[in-house]
Chain A
Amino acid sequence: MRYAYFPGCSYHGTGKEYELSTHAVAKKLGMELVTIPDWSCCGATASHGKSHLLNIALPSRNLGIAEGMGIDEVTTGCAACYQQLANANKKMIENEDLRNKVNSITGKPYKGTLKVKSIVEAIGIVDPETIKSQIVKPLTGLKVACYYGCLLVRPPEITGFDDPENPMFIDNIMKLAGAEALDWAHKTECCGASLGVSNLDVAVRMIDRILAAAVESDADCIAVACPFCHLNLDWHQKSVNRKLRKSYDIPVFYFTELLGLSMGISPDELGFKTHFTDTKKVLSVVG
């Protein structure tokens, strides 16, 4: 399966593990990810506050380039990039006036022929037998709290591939990898996103709730699908511990890292060394 691949700005920075593990896993599953040439920022969570037009134009430029690649579907890892691309795609397809206006701005006209999928959906729809055939080191005994964040499955009119209140895509992938996907209540609670940078005092309370729920559900680790969620839950555990006098020490992985691990890919190849919370505990559970 070929996808036009949108890396997003964080992939080369804080989301490096996500990029490494995504590519490693995709290769194993026979998914070809062709990076969109000359891709540019999608607008993330900043652009829609500035201007609705900018918010559609920024991702549409990338869609316009992707359309010329001869591939029908676009995929991306970051949840914000996914929201931006999927939202722009829907609006560009449905609204002709908007489409014409945006195309005259971006210089990369988009006709509206593509489908946008998050990497979660792209991997989730692969035949389970294919995925299972690649699992050589099942994560038996590993209890994973799968965290979706707020942008991956809402609003359902834009995302539509999983239940907005109790999604199961990542859970199912983890189950195929042999892990125990826990039933916990904070799958889709917001982590604070960019507040983790601009207003940490607010963000730590939101992060604390998620970590507390994960710990209460007896999770060994948390699986995420977004670089900002990862940043907030992983890097900021120390901040939460400091500001709210807690003692969290729970590793946070991209689901692709865990999947890659179960496929026998080495932890170094997957980027385990670049985490902030100690990953050795998980590795010891898995063996």
Chain B
Amino acid sequence: MAKRIGLFICWCGSNIGGVVDVPRVVEETKNYPGVAFATDYKYMCSEPGQNLIISKVKEHNLDRVVVASCTPMLHEPTFRKAIARAGLNPYMFDMANIREQCSWVHSNDKEAATQKAIALVKRALAKVSQVEPLFESSIPITKKALVVGAGIAGIQVALDIADSGHEVILLERESTIGGNMVKLDKTFPTMDCSACISTPKMVQAAQHPNITIMTYAELVDVQGYIGNFEVTIKQKARFVDHTICTGCGLCTEKCPTKVSSSFELGMGKRKAIYIEFPQAVPNKPVIDPDNCRYLKNGKCGICKKLCPVGAVDFEQKDELIEEKVGAIVIATGYDLIKWEEIYGEYGYGRFKDVITGLQFERLVNASGPTNGLIQRPSDGKEPKTVVFIKCVGSRDEAKAKEYCSRACCMYTAKHAHQVIEKIEGGHAYIFYMDVRTPGKAYDEFYRRTVDEGAQYIRGRVSKIYQSGDKLVVMGADTLLGSAVHIEADLVVLATAMVPTEGSEKIAQLAGVNIDKDGFFIEAHPKLRPVETMTGGVFLAGACQGPKDIPDTVSQASGAAAKVAALLSNDQMATDPMICHIDEKMCSGCLVCKEVCPYKAISEKTITERIAGQPVERIVASVNTGLCQGCGNCTVACRAGAANLKGYTNLQLLSEVDALCR
């Protein structure tokens, strides 16, 4: 049947019409083969404009439409919906961008712009002559979510998804949930005790009927696609049976082995059998196999002897567990940059009294290694002069990270306040480049700290060295224009936030991208901050970029809302502009499988009858749920068996043809 194309050229007010001679474009293109109706209008995307399209489709019995206007990124969905309302398949449509790619960039040469517009319209007409109706398909959804990481982000995501009625697995590789937040003492700007506000949420998560917490467990494999993931989790051997253990703590008391605690950031020790901190969830110990005397040398075993319920089990093995989920949320959080490897001017970590902000939190924390007393790690004495240095590793394009770590200005002000409050005769000096305190009640908090007597010095520190038992801090005061030397008792560095160790591996498993700094990339920085480019995988918290607790919790709820929306359907529609494999032409070489960035292609065995005999052979098979229509396979396929619907080889060739004439 002959094609009947409707051509609608937009003026877009004067955006297009002021540069391109629109009536002339109509004249030059209305007789293109296949065009049954052509017109122009001032604002095609407006309601009258859309109604014009709909009425003309009906009036002239059009079977496909071209709109020449702005970028498809803006109004392709608008016009597709319009022609769908007119009764056409929404994919019987193409757009010619004669604004962003024509009138807006060639505004100084109207003749050339008009010529280009004519060519672009012809291209669209050639393409639309070759389009076929496309139909979205649907796939079922597993109504369960996996949250990777159980810091405050992961906990909040899990609680919100669980409250919306769906099941959640909350996965955490440490022995307790809580993440970095539980290491903190007080949180700005309210000075709420961190444990006091996070532990209720931790307990809520533990008790929620829809949440299954898996601690001391890691994600090791992800297969499948949105709505239908198959994940493999490794439950590491705890060597303590948590179904029997009562959490009495006798084992941890009597264990003879002490090792440096990573929870205390090297400022304190724990035992080989340990509970990470007093409010841990679950509040039951695990045994560290690298340091346990029994597991290493067969000696000791005192915990097993003393346990009143016989919960210690040295025979436990790692277990692999498979789960099906419909959505994955990555909430793996942050670590601090290894500043000791970079900043020789601050001593490369040799000076015990130069510590990070997080280590300072452990000192001030009442359940920390010094029971809440601010003491110098070197000699245990109370420091009187504390120097804070901000932007260590952040905003440093020469040696470390270019970005700002966002939370440090607030927590440094908080620490300075704590020094002044807790240490009699204490002095706090803060070397800064800027003070960034934009949140609610943040600037007031910073001002109060200044009013209390914290001394902010604008300038960098070029060197810290030990002189006797003092640390000499050599810095600059750029507002005064002079050098400043301070003899400090303690120096606290506000170090850069970086993605946690192991983030890269999680990114690979989940099939999401990370940026040059290792943070997970969101689908769009402004408009889609909790989704990724991979369908069904979402982000929450500092793993996506440095942020503080209020922003983390907000983003976590946002991610949960997206997951809840996804899981609220029984089925989901998929974009029909995906790869199609012509099995007759496919030789089964599977090069397409190698180049697919979304792991959407797998091998399939088909049976054909050749010369009367059934023959089995391998061909490529596209998972319509995973395929994002990137076209890599179409390019890679040597036989031409892979073709992208909506951008078929024939359609593209006809566009080239039209432009070359």
Q: Determine the chain A residues whose CB is within 8 A of the CB of B344 once the complex forms.
A: 163-166
Which positions 145-180 of chain A face chain B at CB distance < 8 Å? 163-166
B472 contact set on A, CB distance < 8 A: 185
Q: Does residue A216 face the partner (Cβ distance < 8 Å to B)?
A: yes
Assembled-state Cα–Cα distance A186/B463 (Å): 10
Task: Classify chain B: how many residues form its interface, as a range.
Answer: 10 to 19
> B517-550 toward A: CB 8 Å interface, digit per residue (1/0)?
0000000000000000000000000000000000
CA gap between A186 and B348 in the complex, in Å: 15
Is A165 touching B467 in the complex (CB atoms < 8 A)?
no
Complex CA distance for A166 and B468, rounded to whole angstroms: 19
A236 to B472, CA, bound (A): 25
A269 to B348, CA, bound (A): 40
Q: Mark B439-480, 1 if CB is under 8 A from A, else 0.
A: 000000000000000000000000101111000100000000
Answer yes or no: B345 CB below 8 A from chain A CBs: yes
Give every chain A residue within 8 A of B465 (Cβ-Cβ): 185-186, 213
Dominant secondary structure at the A interface = loop
Complex contacts, B466 vs chain A, CB 8 Å? 185
- CB-CB nearest in chain B for A184: B465
* Shortest Cβ gap from B133 to chain A (Å): 59
Bound CA span A185–B467, Å: 9
Q: How many residues of A are counted as interface, with CB atoms below 8 angstroms from the partner's CB atoms?
A: 9
Query: Using Cβ atoms and an 8 Å threshold, which residues of chain B touch A166?
Result: 344, 348
Closest Cβ neighbor of A185 among chain B residues: B465
Within 8 A of B (CB), among A12-26: none
* Complex-state Cα separation, A189 to B483, whole angstroms: 15
B471-495 at interface with A (beta carbon < 8 Å): 472
Residues in A whose Cβ lies below 8 Å from that of B345: 165
Chain A residue with the shortest CB-CB distance to B474 = A189
- In the bound assembly, the distance between CA atoms of A235 and B343 in angstroms comes to 34
Complexed CA–CA distance, A186 and B467 (Å): 11
Chain B residues with CB under 8 A of A213: 465, 467
Which of chain A's residues have a CB closer than 8 A to the CB of B467? 185, 213, 216
Nearest Cβ in chain B — how far from A22, in angstroms? Answer: 28
Q: Whole-angstrom distance between the alpha carbons of A185 and B468 in the complex?
A: 12
In angstroms, Cα B340 to Cα A165, docked, is: 12
CB proximity of A241 to chain B, nearest CB, Å: 21
Q: How far is the CA of A148 from the CA of B570 in the complex (A)?
A: 71
Give Cα distance in the complex from A165 to B466, angstroms: 14
A191 CB, nearest partner CB in chain B, Å: 15
In the bound complex, CA of A166 to CA of B467 (Å): 16
Residues of A within 8 A of B348 (CB): 165-166
Taking CB atoms, residues of chain A closer than 8 Å to B463 are 185, 189
Binary interface profile of B, 172-209, with partner A (CB < 8 Å = 1, else 0)? 00000000000000000000000000000000000000
Chain B residues with CB under 8 Å of A165's CB are 343-345, 348
Interface centre among A163, A165, A189 (most CB of B within 10 A): A165
A216 vs B472: C-alpha distance when bound (angstroms):
14
Tell me the complex Cα distance, A278–B343, Å: 38
List of A residues within 8 angstroms of B343 by Cβ: 165
Q: Which residue of the partner chain A has the closest CB to B345? A: A165
For the complex, what is the distance from the CA of A230 to the CA of B466, rounded to whole Å?
25
Residues of B within 8 Å of A185, CB to CB, are: 463, 465-467, 472
CA of A163 to CA of B344 in the docked complex: distance in angstroms? 8
- Mark interface residues in B332-348 (1 if CB within 8 Å of A CB, else 0): 00000000000111001
Residues of B within 8 A of A163 (CB): 344
Task: Report the minimum CB–CB distance from A48 to chain B (whole Å).
Answer: 21
Q: In the complex, what distance in Å separates the CA atom of A164 from the CA atom of B344?
A: 8
Bound Cα distance A275, B469 (Å): 34
Residue numbers in B under 8 Å from A164 (CB-CB) = 344
- Complex Cα gap A82–B465 (Å): 28
In the complex, chain B residues whose CB is within 8 Å of the CB of A186? 465
Assembled-state Cα–Cα distance A111/B218 (Å): 57
Instruction: Across the interface, name the chain B residue whose C-beta is closest to A166.
Output: B344
User: How many Å lie between the Cα of A276 and that of B466 in the bound state?
Assistant: 30
Nearest B-chain residue to A164, judged by Cβ? B344
Compute how far the CA of A213 lies from the CA of B463 in the bound complex, rounded to whole angstroms.
Answer: 14
Q: Which of A221-253 contact B (CB under 8 A)?
A: none
Please measure, in the bound complex, the distance between the C-alpha atom of A216 and the C-alpha atom of B466, giving whole angstroms: 11
In this complex, what residue of A is CB-closest to B346? A165
Q: Which residues of chain B come closer than 8 Å to A216, judged between CB atoms? A: 467-468
* C-alpha spacing A216/B465, complex, angstroms: 12
Q: CB-nearest residue of chain B relative to A216?
A: B467
Residue of B348, B465, B472 with most chain A CB atoms under a 10 A cut-off: B465
Q: Report B377 CB to chain A, min CB distance, Å.
A: 19
Q: How far is the CA of A163 from the CA of B468 in the complex (A)?
A: 24
Closest residue of A by beta carbon distance from B344: A165
Determine the residue in chain B with the shortest Cβ distance to A165.
Answer: B344
Nearest chain-B residue to A189 (Cβ)? Answer: B463
Q: Which residue of B lies closest to A155 (CB)?
A: B398
CB interface residues, B 608-654, toward A, < 8 Å: none
Would you give the 0/1 interface string for A186-226, flagging 1 where the beta carbon is closer than 8 Å to chain B?
A: 10010000000000000000000000010010000000000
Instruction: With CB as the reference atom, state the residue of chain A lying closest to B472.
Output: A185
CB contacts under 8 Å to A, within B334-379, are 343-345, 348
Min distance, Cβ A195 to any Cβ of chain B, angstroms: 15
Alpha-carbon distance between A213 and B468 when the two chains are bound, in angstroms: 11
**How many Å from the CB of B461 to the closest CB on chain A?**
13
Task: Convert A60-82 into 0s and 1s, putting 1 for each residue whose CB lies closer than 8 angstroms to a CB of B.
Answer: 00000000000000000000000
Cα A67 to Cα B130 with chains together (Å): 68
CA separation between A166 and B343, bound complex, in Å?
10
- Within 8 Å CB of B468, what residues of A? 216
The residue in chain A whose Cβ has the minimal distance to the Cβ of B465 is A185
How distant is the Cα of A91 from the Cα of B467 in the complex, in angstroms? 40
State in angstroms the CA–CA spacing of A166 and B345 once bound together: 8
A: residues with CB less than 8 A from B are 163-166, 185-186, 189, 213, 216
With A165-B348, A213-B465 known, 4 other A-B pairs at CB within 8 A are A163-B344, A185-B467, A185-B472, A213-B467
Could you list 12 A-B pairs, sorted by A, with CB under 8 Å?
A163-B344, A165-B348, A166-B344, A166-B348, A185-B463, A185-B465, A185-B466, A185-B467, A185-B472, A186-B465, A216-B467, A216-B468
Q: What 10 pairs across the A-B complex have the smallest Cβ distances?
A: A165-B344, A185-B465, A166-B344, A165-B345, A163-B344, A185-B466, A166-B348, A216-B467, A164-B344, A165-B348
